[in-house]
Amino acid sequence: MSILVNQNIRLLVQGITGNEGLFHTQQMLYYHTNIVAGVSPGKGGDWVLDGKVPVFDTVKNAVEVTDANASVIFVPAKAAADAIFEAADANMKLIVCITEGVPILDMMRVKEYLSTKNTRLIGPNCPGVLSPGECKVGIIPGNISIPGNIGIVSRSGTLTYEVLLSLYKAKKGVSTCVGIGGDPVKGMGFTDVLELFEADAKTDAVILIGEIGGNDEEAAAEYISRKMTKPVAAFIAGLSAPPGKRMGHAGAIIEGKTGSAEGKIEALRNAGVQIAEFPEKLAEMV
């Protein structure tokens, strides 16, 4: 079973006529994701990918014609917040924003607005969601995983792919893989996704991939200790980061012990989480 996305999704691609949007739309179609529409202002009435996907000027028009219920966003950073607002106003149940470099102030406005909506946001600056054998929304490679009972939630795109490949080589399957992104202000966090995995009858174990910066892993540890009945294994990137040095990742901000790899590992261990020394070791733990 999967969380967030499945075969019943009716996906809309915002920014479908751009290079990234067009390429990844094709990849999602190869995975048999049900893409019903694209949105690109000024291109309404066109069709892309040999007439497979109609293009609309606005999300509202696309929803009226196709009954789309989810959106994936491939627009430039300066337009990402408006794209999220537009999708939320069209009552999208799920919005996945792949765009990186979205200004923090824009995301603060987005978070405030979405608190009044019945919409889930994943991202920005994330690889998206993959339910192996069912649906792919975003840029996670679909050929390195098989269906199974292991849930994955991760802040790091690259480490997500590495862990998926390790599980694939070990012939262990995944229920859903959710890349939440590493930006300091984003949509769903670890705890939000862990709640869905805990409620999913077909997910028997969970892998959590974290990194330095922020306190999302500490919040996840608290949730795991109080509510989680399923085993969790984790890897936290950044143990070798030089103390006091600002790292390149947008979310890698450390203040004192808060946000450090050591602090996150300690919190998760205290919650009963198995900690992997290397990401490829996670496949042996679940």
User: Is pLDDT above 80 for 29?
Assistant: yes
How far, in Å, CA of 182 to CA of 154, rounded? 9
Instruction: Name the CATH topology of 11-122.
Output: Rossmann fold (3.40.50)
Give yes or no: 32 in active site: no
| All residues at 6 or more sequence positions from 100 whose CB lies less than 8 Å from its CB, including other chains | 77, 124, 125
Domain layout of the chain by residue ranges: 11-122, 141-285
What is the distance between the alpha carbons of residues 139 and 124, in angstroms, rounded to a whole number? Answer: 13
- CATH number corresponding to 141-285: 3.40.50.261
> Model confidence over 37-72: pLDDT tens digits?
999 999 999 999 999 999 999 999 999 999 999 999
- Name every residue whose Cβ is closer than 8 Å to that of residue 224 and which is 6 or more positions away in sequence: 194, 232, 268, 271, 272, 273
What single string gives the DSSP state of each residue in 94-106?
EEEE------HHH
Are 153 and 178 a contacting pair, CB within 8 Å? Answer: yes
What pLDDT does 213 receive? 87
Question: Residue 75: which pLDDT band, with cuts at 50, 70 and 90?
Answer: very high
The answer to whether 153 and 133 have CB atoms below 8 angstroms apart is: no
pLDDT attached to residue 250: 46
pLDDT at 225: 97
42: how many CB neighbours lie within 10 A of its CB?
9
Instruction: Please check the confidence at residue 2 and state whether its pLDDT lies above 90.
Output: no
**What is the H or E stretch that residue 14 is in?**
strand 11-14
Over residues 240-276, the pLDDT tens digits come to: 666 655 555 545 555 555 678 899 999 999 999 999 9
CB 246 within 8 A of CB 252: yes
Element containing residue 35 per DSSP (H, E): strand 35-39
Distance from C-alpha of 284 to C-alpha of 115, rounded to nearest angstrom: 39
Cβ–Cβ < 8 Å for 13, 25: yes
pTM given for the model? 0.93
Which one from 5, 249, 263, 279 is the annotated catalytic residue?
A: 249
11-122 with 141-285: one CATH topology? yes
